[in-house]
Amino acid sequence: MTTKKRSTVTKAKPASPSTSDLRALFNGRVIAPDDPRYEQARTIFYGGMDRHPAAIVRVADAGDVSRLVSLAYEVGFELAVRSGGHSNAGYGTTDGGVVLDLSGMKDLQINLEDKTVWAETGLTAGEFTAAVGIHGLATGFGDTGSVGLGGITLGGGVGYLVRKYGLTIDSLLAAEVVTADGQLLHVDDESHPDLFWAIRGGGGNFGVVTRFKFQLHEVDMIFGGMLILPATPDVITGFIAEAEAAPEELSTIANVMTAPPMPFLPADIHGKPIIMAFLVYAGDPADGERVIAPFRALAKPYADMLKPMSYPEIYQPEQEGYHPVAAGRTMFLDHVDRSIAETILDRLNASTGSMAVTQLRVLGGAMARVPADATTFAHRKSRIMANLAALYEKPEEKETHETWVTDFAATLRQDDGGAYVNFLANVDQAQIRAAYPGGTWDRLRPVKAKYDPTNLFRLNQNIPPSMD
């Protein structure tokens, strides 16, 4: 399928196109610095990234996407592609370039017969989950409803259904992608299979995805929610052991951190080490309650909000205007024993950030059954994902917290040297290579060269085109 309608703007144009040039070209809204909506439109989830795009183009359809990509290709301005704006490295914005903002494209076409859905990439995980949840169906995304379908899917997607149904990309059946030459391609196992392989984990390197086709799964009532336990070495190791031993219906996310002053936590708990855990048993809620019982028994919970619920309820309302600044690292661990648990508690205690967290996600299950080379997410045998972060307020403290997180990651490092691309915050080449180990990297670069030879899509965990 092709909706190519090249703009007539040539290379003689200035690096940042004028607002009137842009407004003439697009069906969607062009938001320039003189627009009262500009401040809000240039804001992304993470704070500390105060960038000023020349314009934000809130594209209305695939034709708009194609025209903006063509324009960026011809004129040469920096193009930031944004779906939900949650990039840990701030790739959804640019200083002086143009933002291709997909947030106006939220169409969703559900096919109840074959349980599939075409979803535009301006949808968030929460919006998608609520819409398909009406039918008792779901595709797994991450732990946060406001994350965009675009970014999370293209990086892999690790969430509450990871052990039961795999990564988000394991439910991806097809996509429509505008490549660097402005063409809209239908990609799946038969059509452009190299590109279909590359976009399942390769991030935004290969083009702008306008919509995805997902397999939906029957996930209606679940047993799950939040459980807050005291974080001692025994409880941390016990939690991980239980999560590893649990049936794959259960996926868990354990945030080891100091207790924030949450109203439902007694005041004497505030500032104490806790595990703020989120658990989802995607199966019969009565079975789920039995499976989750050993977690509840690890220690007397500070808070227990586990209950039968409909799956979309797992995405709780989020705080408006929350834009944290964080120093973060992502890695995989082979095991969490007592000494690792003690190290985690020591390092969290040593952080001078306003909040420090170690997030542990036990993997395995359906995710681990997919061959490592079937998609560009090659970490199928990785056992536990660990995300380390220090949140802070003063920009001048950046170095302190970056040093803390770098040292912390070095202390925890085990044999698994991989990294999950979607959580890479401090993006250096070594970390990108860790996300795409060995043969994956070598296979990705020629695909990049084929579909984006000039590296137009470079505001991402970048895979440079192969020169061979």
Ligand X SMILES: Cc1cc2nc3c(=O)[nH]c(=O)nc-3n(C[C@H](O)[C@H](O)[C@H](O)COP(=O)(O)OP(=O)(O)OC[C@H]3O[C@@H](n4cnc5c(N)ncnc54)[C@H](O)[C@@H]3O)c2cc1C
Residues forming contacts to ligand X in the complex (CB under 6 A) are 45, 81-88, 91-92, 102, 121, 142-144, 147-148, 150-152, 154-155, 157-159, 203-204, 208-209, 422-423, 459-460
Q: How far is the CB of 125 from ligand X (least distance, A)?
A: 8
Q: How far apart are CA 333 and CA 167, in angstroms?
A: 18
Q: How far is the CB of 346 from ligand X (least distance, A)?
A: 25
Closest to ligand X by CB, 171 vs 422, is: 422
Closest to ligand X by CB, 102 vs 259, is: 102
294: CB partners within 8 A, 6+ apart: 242
Q: How far is the CB of 66 from ligand X (least distance, A)?
A: 13
Closest to ligand X by CB, 63 vs 204, is: 204
Instruction: Name the region of 365 (left: φ>0; alpha: ψ -120 to 50; beta: rest).
Output: left
Q: How far is the CB of 414 from ligand X (least distance, A)?
A: 21
- The token pair at 331 is 């890695």
- The token pair at 155 is 């990086």
Kindly give the pairing relationship between strand 108-111 and strand 325-333. Answer: unpaired
Q: Of 392, 370, 315, which is closest to residue 145 (Cα–Cα)?
A: 315
Closest to ligand X by CB, 154 vs 216, is: 154
Q: How far apart are CA 123 and CA 108, in angstroms?
A: 9
Q: How far is the CB of 183 from ligand X (least distance, A)?
A: 14
- The token pair at 172 is 């991806």
Query: For ligand X, which residue has the nearest CB?
Result: 151
Q: Exposure of 467 by Cβ count < 10 A (0-12 exposed, 13-18 middle, 19+ buried)?
A: exposed
Helix, strand and coil content of the chain, in percent to the nearest 5, comes to 30, 25, 45
Closest to ligand X by CB, 92 vs 353, is: 92
Q: How far is the CB of 15 from ligand X (least distance, A)?
A: 19
Closest to ligand X by CB, 142 vs 273, is: 142
